[in-house]
Amino acid sequence: MVIVREREGPCLFSVLLLNVLCSFVSALYFHIGETEKKCFIEEIPDETMIIGNYRTQLYDKQTAEYLPATQGLGMFVEVKDPDDKVILSRQYGSEGRFTFTSHTPGEHQICLHSNSSKFSLFAGGMLRVHLDIQVGEHANNYAEIAAKDKLTELQLRVRQLVEQVDQIQKEQNYQRYREERFRQTSESTNQRVLWWSIVQTLILVAIGIWQMRHLKSFFEAKKLV
Amino acid sequence: NMMYGSLRVLLQVLWAQLLCGWVLGSELTFELPDNAKQCFYEDIIMGTKCTLEFQVVTGGHYDVDCRLEDPDGTTLYKEMKKQYDSFTFTAAKNGTYKFCFSNEFSTFTHKTVYFDFQVGDDPPLFPNENRVTALTQMESACVSIHEALKSVIDYQTHFRLREAQGRSRAEDLNTRVAFWSIGEAIILLVVSISQVVLLRSFFSDKKTTTTRVGS
């Protein structure tokens, strides 16, 4: 048993390394202009971890294809929490990985823009950004957890199920909080409509009375009535 | 023994490479400004079953144009002004598939769009060497629970998006009611006072003209 474990160590590491490297290869990508800022919204419950991986490529006119970006070109990543407070604001290189954990439930905004100051670098082209954002349970690296805690396959599967159920529970708690806010907004609208219809009726009646009295006194003064 | 060890490493490396063909899905929510178009690209291997699902979360009439093209530019899916849709296809060619969301028909509302692009199946949890043996009952039970929980999480996401949409409409309504009540109060007062002033001015002018004519 011990011999098997010793052999598995470096094997696992190489698999892990390859997984990490290969996961960068075919992620979703999009194009971003030089001064453009692209924002993504993640609505998450509290105590949820988010891991974002990105990789940039610059269009090379000579070879007419996208090549890995030069060293000087980095991306500025800014993360705002639901109260518009900045919780992460860092510059990374042409390839980067950012992690944060939410402390308040709600809409978090992840914004990316390039830090390019040399306008010639883009040469009118676009920057290709490969992006991958993993939320909550998806952010867990199970190979790492298995190696660290020395879990069998069954134990690892059960661990994954536990993490999933945990995420479901957090989301439902957050759902309860959101529903309360929604109910408060609806009740506020209901109150406003009720209050406004009463006030409107009173204003109309008061103005009507004022108009008639004022005009009557005016005509009496003019000796027309 | 050494050869057996290195063979196992090689097999695991190859297995890991194979795994990378099974890429995880991407799920993103982004802002689409008015008159803007946003495109996303992904390299897909032939024969992979893919699903594109999108939903407009906030903004205007909660609709967006969506278009999915294969590497040769053939449109696989095109819908205008859709609020929510789901499209499954099997990749017929290797290459870069492109899907775009367009808000070009809207002049001043910017929208928030959620999309979930699933490519292939999820990778296996534990790349182990015992792939030849079938899963035990416990393991297959775990797998089915995992699939069921995945669909629960998927339903939760859709519910969350619908709730966000409903809440956004309710908050819009609330602000509109507030502005409307203040606006109407001002209009009422202005109209009623100006009515009285206008009436008064009619009678005042008549008086002066009669005196002028008289003298």
pLDDT digits (tens, 9 = 90+) for B165-189: 888 888 888 899 889 989 999 999 9
Same domain as A161, residue A108: no
Domain that holds residue A194: 141-224
Tell me the pLDDT band of B20, cut-offs 50, 70 and 90. Answer: very low
Tell me if A192 and B200 make a contact (CB, 8 A cut-off): no
Tell me if A22 and B153 make a contact (CB, 8 A cut-off): no
- Determine the distance in angstroms separating the CA of B87 from the nearest CA of chain A, rounded to an integer: 17
Among the ranges given (A42-56, A200-214, B11-25, B132-146), the one the predictor scored with the smallest mean pLDDT: B11-25
Locate the DSSP E strands across chain A: 28-32, 37-44, 49-60, 65-68, 75-80, 86-92, 95-101, 106-114, 127-135
Name the residue ranges covered by the structural domains of chain B: 24-121
Residue A86 pairs in a beta bridge with A80
Determine the pLDDT at residue B107.
81
Tell me the pLDDT band of B106, cut-offs 50, 70 and 90. Answer: confident
pTM: 0.76
**Eight-class DSSP state of A137:** G
In a domain, A10, yes or no: no
- Determine the distance in angstroms separating the CA of B73 from the nearest CA of chain A, rounded to an integer: 17
In a domain, A207, yes or no: yes
State the best of B68, B94, B153, B203 to mutate against chain A, taking most chain A CBs within 10 Å: B153
What gap in Å lies between CA A115 and CA A95, rounded to an integer? 13
Going residue by residue through chain A (225 aa), what tens digit of pLDDT does each one get?
Answer: 444 455 555 555 555 454 444 444 558 899 888 778 899 999 999 899 999 998 888 877 676 777 776 666 788 899 999 999 999 999 888 888 999 999 999 999 999 988 776 655 556 667 888 999 998 888 788 888 888 888 888 888 899 999 999 999 999 999 999 999 899 999 998 998 998 899 999 999 999 999 999 989 988 888 876
Tokens for B175, please give them: 């602000």
Determine the pLDDT at residue B152.
94
Same domain as A130, residue A53: yes
Tell me the pLDDT band of B127, cut-offs 50, 70 and 90. Answer: low
Residue B202 pairs in a beta bridge with none
Same domain as A76, residue A36: yes
Tokens for B162, please give them: 């619908």
Tell me if A171 and B139 make a contact (CB, 8 A cut-off): no
Same domain as A148, residue A94: no
Same domain as A41, residue A73: yes
Tell me if B117 and A28 make a contact (CB, 8 A cut-off): yes
Higher per-residue confidence, A123 vs B117: B117
Q: For residues B44-59, give the mean pLDDT.
A: 90
Cα-Cα end-to-end distance for chain B = 133
Tell me if B171 and A222 make a contact (CB, 8 A cut-off): no
Q: Report whether pLDDT(B34) > 70.
A: yes
Same domain as A213, residue A112: no
CATH number, domain B24-121: 2.60.120.380
What gap in Å lies between CA A15 and CA A193, rounded to an integer? 63
Domain termination residue (choose one: A90, A110, A140): A140
Q: Report whether pLDDT(B16) > 50.
A: no
Determine the pLDDT at residue A56.
86
In degrees and rounded to multiples of 5, residue B113 shows phi and psi of: -120, 135
Tell me if A43 and B136 make a contact (CB, 8 A cut-off): no
Same domain as A54, residue A125: yes
Question: DSSP string covering B69-81, please?
Answer: E-TT--EEEEEEE
Determine the pLDDT at residue A1.
47
How far is CA A97 from its chain centroid? 15
Q: Where are the alpha helices (DSSP H) in chain B?
A: 2-19, 137-214
Same domain as A153, residue A69: no
Q: Report whether pLDDT(B162) > 80.
A: yes
Percent over 90 (pLDDT), chain B: 38
Tell me the average pLDDT of chain B.
82
CB < 8 Å to A11, chain B: 8-9, 12
Same domain as A188, residue A131: no
In a domain, A24, yes or no: no
Determine the pLDDT at residue B19.
41
**Eight-class DSSP state of B120:** S
Reported as half-sphere exposure (CB side, CA atoms, 13 A), residue A130 has a value of 21
* Of B26, B10, B153, B31, the residue nearest B97 (C-alpha): B26
What gap in Å lies between CA A222 and CA A220, rounded to an integer? 5
| B29, B31, B146: residue with CB nearest A160 | B146
Domain termination residue (choose one: A104, A119, A140): A140
The H or E element spanning position A216 is helix A153-221
Tell me if B142 and A161 make a contact (CB, 8 A cut-off): yes
Cα nearest neighbour of A141 on chain B: B125
Cα nearest neighbour of B166 on chain A: A182
Domain termination residue (choose one: A120, A140, A160): A140
Q: For residues B78-98, give the mean pLDDT.
A: 91
Q: For residues B81-106, give the mean pLDDT.
A: 90
Tell me if B42 and A29 make a contact (CB, 8 A cut-off): yes
Domain tally for chain A? 2
In a domain, A12, yes or no: no
Same domain as A126, residue A44: yes
Residue B58 pairs in a beta bridge with B112
Same domain as A206, residue A149: yes
CB < 8 Å to A146, chain B: 126
In a domain, A184, yes or no: yes
Tell me if A40 and B30 make a contact (CB, 8 A cut-off): yes
Same domain as A185, residue A148: yes
- Determine the distance in angstroms separating the CA of B27 from the nearest CA of chain A, rounded to an integer: 8
Residue B40 pairs in a beta bridge with B99
CB < 8 Å to A142, chain B: 125-126
Cβ atoms A43, A80 nearer than 8 A? no
Q: Report whether pLDDT(B1) > 80.
A: no
In a domain, A15, yes or no: no
